[in-house]
Amino acid sequence: MARTKISDVAREAGVSLGTVSNAINHPERVRPDTLALVNEAIDRLGYLPNQTARLLAGGVNAVIGLVLPRLNHGCSLQIANGARNEAIRAGYDLIIMNTDDDQEVERRYLQFCVGMQLAGVLVQPSTYQVPRPLRSLPVPVVFLSAPDVPDGALSVSADYAAQGRLIAEHVLSRGATHIAVVGETSRPPLAQRLEGVRAVAAEHPEAHFEVINRGNRYGSSDGARLGAKLARRDPLTRPDAIIGLADAIAVGAVAGAQAAGCAVPDGIMVAGCDGNPLAWGGSVSLTTCSPAGYEIGRKGVQMLVAQINAEREAEAAEAAGVPSAAAAEAMRREWYPSALDYPGMAPAAQNAAAEAEIKNRHEFVRPFLLERASTMGADAAQKGAIGSIGAIPSIPELDVGSYL
């Protein structure tokens, strides 16, 4: 399996080595008939350029690396898809690496990215703290969903507190007066959602908020248990709304409440918080926030590309003898929030999502509301139901392709 190289092509085409290189990289510099000759030889020999050699000789690798701690969370998939689409749009390819929460593997992957001279890297650190060696990599980096980020680094995460606020305000607007907030808050995202809910609670002393700090992050059975328990209370102490600090918990709560003989949303409203499509399969479609992952991936790539360009500019400037003070400025100029193309979302919602808050160099993806049957009145629910079969309750469409 001795691979054919550029000199083979040159010989086959009867031209020199440099001409072949030009034909590949600068076709305009070569006469059309020579070009045809070369391309023919390339096809005939099935020549594929050795990327490592090109890179070593000074090429740039138009590839972005995405290092994720896991693949099997709804959010990871969204991030990967958002990043991929934006990367392709910007002329880059994206390669995805799954560390499976293994720090050693993470280290290897990052070394691979740097070693392969990738154009840039998006990293979602496996722990909630960015490990030391990751803090200065000789390659543009953007951190995703990492609350603790090195000084001056770029990052983009979901605005968890805003999710909590959004959902709390929504159930209040739907008439809730006694709201049970369910979820175990040892993990920052849930804790921040709870903070958002609490902020709303502080603004609404007339409503009663009850926090039940329990329920596994990824399981729905705790939610079911708690939902049933809450639904079985006597009417005086029973909440009229449940907020699950994660959608999986909320879905469980729906099932639990129903099993306890309490209709959703008529007997009790239920809402999630994190827009996790993997948890949307319940018998009543769930009101929740927009999934943040797609936007995180999309924005991450935008920031990364901006950084890559800025760096290129800075280097070019430096080469031209210009002081590199302007370099930082170039980056700031480069970065602009462009129009969204979130699939299947209303334009208004898109704009809402696009209004990103910029603090230092950390972007936050703002949520918008996905109002569905679990908090809708009977009238509104009608619209959410599947059309022609009257008797069927709203069944969430499992078109996995477009949701994730």
Residues that bind DNA (CB under 7 A): 3, 5-7, 15-19, 21-22, 24-26, 28-31, 33-34, 47, 49-50, 53-54, 56-59
CB nearer a copy of itself, residue 168 or residue 248: 248
Residue 17 Cβ vs DNA, minimum distance, rounded to whole Å: 5
**384 Cβ partners below 8 Å, 6+ apart?**
285, 372, 373, 376, 394
Of residues 378-397, those binding a copy of itself (CB under 8 A): 386, 388-389, 391-393, 395-397
- With CA atoms as reference, report the closest residue to 240 among 377, 393, 368: 377
| Helix spans in 260-384 (H) | 293-319, 325-334, 347-354, 378-384
CB nearer DNA, residue 19 or residue 126: 19
In contact, 324 and 310? CB cutoff 8 Å: no
Contacted entry of DNA, a copy of itself, none for residue 127, CB cut-off 5 to 8 Å set by kind: none
**29 Cβ partners below 8 Å, 6+ apart?**
22
Residue 247 Cβ vs DNA, minimum distance, rounded to whole Å: 46
C-alpha of 80 from chain center = 7
Paired tokens of 171: 């159930």
CA distance 292 to 196: 16
Of residues 322-381, those binding a copy of itself (CB under 8 A): none
CB nearer DNA, residue 47 or residue 280: 47
Residue 43 Cβ vs DNA, minimum distance, rounded to whole Å: 15
Of residues 36-75, those binding a copy of itself (CB under 8 A): 46, 48-56, 63, 70-74
Of residues 204-263, those binding a copy of itself (CB under 8 A): 218-221, 224-225, 228, 248, 251-252, 255-256, 259-261
Of residues 171-210, those binding a copy of itself (CB under 8 A): none
Asked if residue 81 binds a copy of itself (CB under 8 A), the reply is: yes
CB nearer DNA, residue 6 or residue 271: 6
Count Cβ atoms below 10 Å from residue 191 Cβ, excluding itself: 17
Number of residues interacting with a copy of itself: please give it, by CB under 8 A. Answer: 81
Residue 123 Cβ vs DNA, minimum distance, rounded to whole Å: 22
Of residues 111-150, those binding a copy of itself (CB under 8 A): 111-112, 114-117, 136, 138
Of residues 302-331, those binding a copy of itself (CB under 8 A): 311, 315
DSSP 37-67: HHHHHHHHHT----HHHHHHTT--EEEEEEE
Residue 141 Cβ vs DNA, minimum distance, rounded to whole Å: 20
Contacted entry of DNA, a copy of itself, none for residue 6, CB cut-off 5 to 8 Å set by kind: DNA
Q: Compute φ and ψ for 41, nearest 5 degrees.
A: -60, -40
Residue 119 Cβ vs a copy of itself, minimum distance, rounded to whole Å: 13
């920031």: which residue's tokens? 303
CA distance 325 to 307: 15
3-class DSSP state of 243: strand
CB nearer a copy of itself, residue 12 or residue 363: 12
163, 165, 169, 170: CA torsion to nearest 10? 10
3-class DSSP state of 290: coil
Contacted entry of DNA, a copy of itself, none for residue 265, CB cut-off 5 to 8 Å set by kind: none
Residue 199 Cβ vs a copy of itself, minimum distance, rounded to whole Å: 28
